[in-house]
Chain A
Amino acid sequence: GAVVSQHPSRVICKSGTSVKIECRSLDFQATTMFWYRQFPKQSLMLMATSNEGSKATYEQGVEKDKFLINHASLTLSTLTVTSAHPEDSSFYICSATGRQGQETQYFGPGTRLLVL
């Protein structure tokens, strides 16, 4: 149980285009989803917290107009990197918790984004 999937696993795009990454909880309802960014050989940096049906809460320094997050259902959250640039190239990972306040986060396998 507690499986989280991400799609796509890898994406290459041209500078200036937008890329959408999906995060799904496959066997549980995720009231809260988190989006992280991970640079090579570094820890995870929390970008935003997303609760179903409400606006995402962004961490300091994360541009909300650049990284659009939608959490329209209890099993799906999307991250759209708008007008991507090479510096946006990274590993993006989502996680989900099953109910409000639950502590254990279940992570997706990650999406590798390369912007040319």
Chain B
Amino acid sequence: GNSVTQMEGPVTLSEEAFLTINCTYTATGYPSLFWYVQYPGEGLQLLLKATKADDKGSNKGFEATYRKETTSFHLEKGSVQVSDSAVYFCALSDPSNTGKLIFGQGTTLQVKP
């Protein structure tokens, strides 16, 4: 079946450190891949997405590249800020085109000043 696996958190970093949150997926067909961010007490916000292999999604200094050969979509940021503290969810779109999203379990990022 289709699934998403994220690295377990929490991830704790100092401000300006480099961030990587690993995400791997299993899917039949050719899904689109997404990163969503959830700030405390809020709903999810789309951070970035990629719709086909080798596409790079980027937004607010975050990047992720759709790697079909390694079935991965790792999230990276060169220099994190305290305001990046949140829960990050990797997701893939259901390849059978139902519009559903399949989420990973989420990774909590805590950035300390």
Contacts and interface: CB of A to CB of B under 8 A. Distances in A.
A109 B105 contact: no
22 contacts: A6-B43, A32-B99, A34-B99, A34-B100, A42-B105, A43-B103, A43-B106, A49-B98, A49-B99, A93-B43, A101-B99, A102-B99, A104-B49, A105-B46, A107-B36, A107-B44, A107-B45, A107-B46, A108-B43, A109-B43, A110-B42, A110-B43
B53 interface: no
Interface residues of B, number: 23
Contacts of A106: 46
Contacts of B45: 107
Contact of B99 (A103, A107, A108, A110): A103
A4 B42 CA distance: 12
Given A6-B43, A103-B93, A110-B42, A43 B104 contact: yes
Contacts, number: 56
Interface of B: 32, 34, 36, 41-46, 49, 51, 89, 93, 97-101, 103-106, 108
Contact of A44 (B44, B93, B97, B98): B44
